[in-house]
Amino acid sequence: MGDYQSRIKELPLTDQPRERLALVGPTALSDAELLAILLRVGVPGLNVLQLAQQTLIECGGWAGLLRADYHDLCRRQGMGTAKAATVKAALEIGRRLLLAGPDERMQIKSPADAAALLMVEMGHLDQEHLRVVLLDTKNRVQQVATIYIGSVNSAMIRVGEVFKEAIRRNSAALIMAHNHPSGDPTPSPEDVLVTRQIIEAGKLLDCEVLDRAPCRCA
């Protein structure tokens, strides 16, 4: 009975994710259905849709799967090396699409856009990270670069490091962001001081600093 439940092709036709994708398109599929297509088969006692739903819940959704260590993912029930590699590859493709060619790159139009780009990877880091989002003249993302990992304070931040990649890529602007592992996103006095220093440096280097915001880390 378990083997019967595990095979996607033996689900009712209307419930088969690949069939639904062909009929209604990928945007109509649930997260579990999309993941089920990557996983292909389930395990005894769980069909592939149930396995996909369980995996998403236990890993914390797509963001959790993106952050998950490959080897840890391999050890999960119903996963293994092939499925883990497929899932990690698919998620990496999605991440790279955000930084694709000039006509496809994500455009930052608001602080919410910047938060959507950064929170996937920064939202649950257990160490403080300082990153910069490099933008072209139309505020399209060129690159997201990590500048510091660890305690970020005004004494350790070097202006040259912040603008190094921006100068190399001839960026028109940048956004600075760092997470607060404490969970309190309120800017500290040091945050405000560093922001002012970086903004002034940006004016001299003709690279506008659009925003600097701490990302909440629960």
Place of tokens 């405000």: 192
Q: Are residues 83 and 123 in the same domain?
A: no
Range of the domain at 65: 2-97
Flag whether 183 is in a domain. yes
Closest by CA position to 68, among listed 82, 53, 84, 54? 84
Q: Are residues 90 and 118 in the same domain?
A: no
Average pLDDT over residues 145-151: 80
Q: Are residues 202 and 123 in the same domain?
A: yes
Query: Do the Cβ atoms of 123 and 138 come closer than 8 Å?
Result: no
Flag whether 102 is in a domain. no
Q: For residue 5, is pLDDT > 70?
A: no
Q: Are residues 122 and 199 in the same domain?
A: yes
Q: State which of 97, 120, 143 marks the end of a domain.
A: 97
pLDDT at 94: 83
Flag whether 103 is in a domain. no
Instruction: Give the residue, 91 or 151, on which the prediction is more confident.
Output: 91
CATH number for 124: 3.40.140.10
Q: Are residues 74 and 34 in the same domain?
A: yes
**Residue 126 and residue 142: Cα distance in Å, rounded?**
26
pLDDT at 153: 56
Average pLDDT along the chain: 81
pTM exceeds 0.75:
no
Lowest mean pLDDT among 61-65, 81-85, 91-95, 212-216: 212-216
pLDDT at 197: 86
Q: Are residues 185 and 153 in the same domain?
A: yes
**Residue 105 and residue 123: Cα distance in Å, rounded?**
22
Q: State which of 70, 97, 124 marks the end of a domain.
A: 97
**pLDDT confidence tier of residue 100, bands split at 50, 70 and 90:** low
**Please, is 203 exposed, middle or buried when counting C-beta atoms within 10 Å of its C-beta (0-12, 13-18, 19+)?**
exposed
pLDDT at 71: 93
**pLDDT confidence tier of residue 9, bands split at 50, 70 and 90:** low
Q: Are residues 60 and 155 in the same domain?
A: no
Lowest mean pLDDT among 32-36, 178-182, 205-209: 178-182
Q: Are residues 77 and 28 in the same domain?
A: yes
Q: Are residues 180 and 204 in the same domain?
A: yes
Average pLDDT over residues 122-127: 69
Provide the number of structural domains found in the chain: 2
Q: Are residues 65 and 18 in the same domain?
A: yes
Q: Are residues 124 and 57 in the same domain?
A: no
Q: For residue 125, is pLDDT > 90?
A: no
Q: Are residues 72 and 139 in the same domain?
A: no
Flag whether 105 is in a domain. no
